[in-house]
Structure 1
Amino acid sequence: VKGAIFHQGYNNAFDGSQGAEMYADIFPAMISAWRTAFGDPELPFGILSLCTDGYPQTRDNYCEKMFNAGIEIRAAQYQTFLKLYQGGDKHVGFVSTYDLRRRWYHPQLKLPAGERIARWALATQYGFERQVEWKPPMLLGMEAADGRLVLRLDTDVNDPQDGAIEGFAIAGSDRKFHPATVTWAQKGRDNRGRVQYDRKQLVLTSPMVPEPIHFRYAWGRNPLANLQATGNKDLPFATQKSDDWRMEEVPLGVLEGDATLPISRGDRNKIVQALREQDRQRRITEAKLLIDELEAN
């Protein structure tokens, strides 16, 4: 056996935070067990992230669509890769599939997903490391200051269509996430006075979140997200978050006291209604800001 390519997780996405936490514990142990079973402690193991499902996340339903255990499974898959890779395992790979969008839970866009993981295999197992790039952009650090979050990445990033960067949500201590406006950090001006940007640093802000402390990215089962490494390399930034809040605890205060897991259908409905109200309040605020801007001009 030359190696393994792994795409799985749908049936694990029905148990809320409990299931996701168990998945995060078991997945790295499973990789180790497979390597033991095949008698190869360095068996190459490539991970394809859990694919999309359901209606797409939009600006209108943004917060509501953040409540889904499948997102937690996808994040656990990336964190498993990250811990192994950063721990020195050079025989593990990862590619995202969340941007290969279909409503159905089974991946219908198989060819581009296969090409992504094939690049990992070609670069790491077949001697094409100089010709082929496979590693996703990685977060190096985060700083919260002056009403914004600044993220440092290990490579230049952008929207491959040269549009606005979408997919980041930020929250303060109330755990109310809202979609963030994303810009590159300014690093000075050239000799013509034009602003120069550091495309490895992203600045996240939102009028709904005056003091952000955490971010989430591609946090939807069928997420609104488009960040990739620059250069048309087809390397998406992976689903991830900086907080350790359980999905049943976001936003803060919807369920009284500590949530008993798994939560009831009634408690799920309470959270969904609270998230819908967040979306409604944000749309109202954005409309008012737009009206004020138009009147000022």
Structure 2
Amino acid sequence: MESLVPRHKFKEHPQAAEYLAWVEKRQAEFDWDEALQKAVEKWEKTLSSQRKKSVAEDKLPPKPTRENLRSWNVPGRSPSDAASCYNGMFGVFKGLNVKGVAFHQGFNNAMMNTSCKPKFYRILMKLMVDGWREDFNDPQLPVAIIGLCAGGKAQTRLNFEELGFSTAAYIRESQRLGLTDSKDTANTAFIPSYDQKIPQLHTKKKKELGLRSARWALKTVYGMEDIVWDTANLLSATPENGKILLTFDKPVLPDDFGSELEGFSIAEESGSHYLAHAVHVQVKAKNERNKQILVSSPLVKEPVSVRYAWARSPMGNLKVNGIPWQPLHSFRTDDIDFTPEVTHQDPDGKNKNSEAIKALKTQAADALKVRNEKGE
């Protein structure tokens, strides 16, 4: 995400400015000769190894030079550094007329290491959208963010709690909230993609996600009222007799129109989330049906929070009005931090992040053990 924000926008937020200062410091201190020497030493080892395997000479890698040194290894040129991709992508179209933007990203920022900083990602999301709107001289430029796609092992009842600790879920939340921070719901949309499950770095189901984006654009940007597109939002989460009552602004139903609601977890003050049972609240008024859900678990006596579709490749089968291309976005009602979110210049940042991640992974694994022991 850092690479897609216009460079001047980093100065508009203290945390973004701190990050930019870190990038510029690395640029100033970068030693080309030292970096090239390390690259040559690595190349020589690779060359020796491949020659022992009788690799043809014309198939051997070229010797590193200052000109061909991988950009990943050069501060300021890395595809992960400030504005580095923006300059060759969005920046070249600056000043042109565009109707809108549909954008999909998130994998690199969801890696389970120091690159995963959900709160910082949320800041960058708003700066990026604001910057694009300035570029195209359109303060209401329509922008759709296609949420981070599914990947890795699928969440099931057998691994539910363990996979419920997910960097990807936090990044999806930051994508949605960062877009909300623009305070322009009429011209922005968050389009969930977690239900399209073919695990891959880049989503395999581009056609399906393209159609979702097209429905949003045709209805909201081009004014085609007969196109079906909608989203739903959680209005409230209220503890009620050992359960939590969720109220939505639109009907949400399983995508097969069945009765089993999947993908919910519930927790007490400890923050350990367990697989939850969820049912629709039965009401007489037709226009209020399927807008309320009761969530509970025998393992959670005094619940305080609920999560839904909270994993990299999550369970979660609810759709707005039950329509397949309108998934209910993942959400949580707690405010538990992912990690302390160290600054980029903190020399002990990696260790702090590593310890925090380890603790959360252990908590999730322990919750799964408890549920298995209780036979739930």
- TM-score under structure 2 length normalisation: 0.66
Structure with more helix by fraction: 2
* Residue equivalent to 2:203: 107
SS in 2 for 1:63: helix
Task: Find the aligned partners of 2:322 and 2:170 in 1 and give their Cα distance.
Answer: 29
Name the CA shift for 1:28/1:233 in 2 (closer, same or farther; >3 Å).
same
Answering whether residue 147 of structure 2 is matched by residue 49 of structure 1, we say: yes
**Partner residue in 2 for 1:256:** none
Deviations 1:37-75 (A, max 9, x none): 111111111110001111001112111112221211111
Residues 262 and 184 of structure 1, relative CA distance in 2, 3 Å threshold: farther
CA gap of 1:46–1:262, structure 2 versus 1, over 3 A, is farther
Q: Specify whether residues 68 and 141 from structure 1 end up closer, same or farther in structure 2 by C-alpha distance, changes over 3 A only.
A: same
Does the CA-based 8 Å contact 2:109-2:116 persist in structure 1? no
Structure with higher Rg: it is 2
Tell me how far apart the structure 2 counterparts of residues 74 and 131 of structure 1 sit (CA, whole Å): 29
Name the counterpart of 2:119.
Answer: 21
- Per the alignment, residue 171 of structure 2 pairs with 73
Structure 2 residues without counterparts, runs of 5 or longer: 1-97, 341-348
Mapped to 2, the partners of 1:17 and 1:148 lie a distance apart of 36
Question: What is the alpha-carbon root mean square deviation over aligned residues?
Answer: 2.4
Could you report, residue by residue, the CA deviation over 1:232-256 in whole angstroms, capped at 9, with x for unpaired residues? Answer: 352111011111101349xxxxxxx
The CA distance in 1 between the partners of 2:114 and 2:371, in whole Å, is 26
Is residue 138 from structure 1 mapped to residue 233 from structure 2 by the alignment? yes
Instruction: State the match for 2:361 in structure 1.
Output: 272
Q: Which residue of 1 aligns with 2:326?
A: 235
Contact 1:229 1:236 in 2 (8 A): yes
Matches within 5 A, 1:62-211: 62-84=160-182, 87-128=183-224, 130-161=225-256, 162-187=258-283, 198-211=289-302
Compute the displacement of 1:124 (Å): 1.1
Corresponding residue to 1:9 among 60, 84, 106? 106
**Larger RCO (alpha carbons 8 Å, 6+ apart):** 1
Q: Quote the residue 2:95 is aligned against.
A: none
Residue 18 of structure 1 contacts residue 262 of structure 1 at CA under 8 Å; is this kept in 2? no
User: Distance in 2 between the 1:97 and 1:4 partners?
Assistant: 17
Distance 1:92 1:34, change over 3 A: same
Structure 1 contact 23–73 (Cα < 8 Å) conserved = yes
Matching of residue 32 in structure 1 with residue 123 in structure 2: no
% of aligned pairs identical?
A: 31
For 1:158, what is the secondary structure of its paired residue?
strand
Whether the 8 Å contact between 1:133 and 1:233 is mirrored in structure 2 is no
Conservation of the 8 A alpha-carbon contact between 2:254 and 2:322: no
Letter in 2 for 1:198: R
Question: Is the 1:67–1:247 Cα contact (8 Å) retained in structure 2?
Answer: no
1:218 CA drift (Å): 0.8
Aligned-residue offset at 1:230: 2.2
Query: Residue 61 in 1 paired to residue 144 in 2?
Result: no
Match of 2:315 among 224, 245, 259: 224
The structural deviation recorded for 1:78 is 1.5
Measured at CA, do residues 99 and 280 of structure 1 come closer, stay the same or move farther in structure 2, by a change above 3 Å?
Answer: same
Opposite residue 153 of structure 2, the aligned amino acid is Y
User: Which residue pairs with 1:284 in the alignment?
Assistant: 373
With normalisation by structure 1, the TM-score equals: 0.83
Residues 172-219 of structure 1: per-residue CA shift (max 9 Å, x gap): 1010101111111133699xxxxxx83100100011111111111110
Q: 1:181–1:205: 8 Å Cα contact kept in structure 2? A: yes
> Which structure has the highest strand share of the two?
1
Aligned to 2:75: none
| Secondary structure at the counterpart of residue 215 of structure 1 | strand
Q: Distance in 2 between matches of 1:225 and 1:101?
A: 12
Q: Retained in 1: the 8 A contact 2:108–2:115?
A: no
Partner amino acid, structure 1, of 2:298: P
Tell me the amino acid that sits aligned with residue 155 of structure 2: Q
Aligned residues: 269
Check 1:268–1:280 CA distance in 2 against 1; reply closer, same or farther (3 A cut): same
Q: 1:145 to 1:93 in 2, by over 3 A?
A: same
Give how far 1:104 is off: 1.6
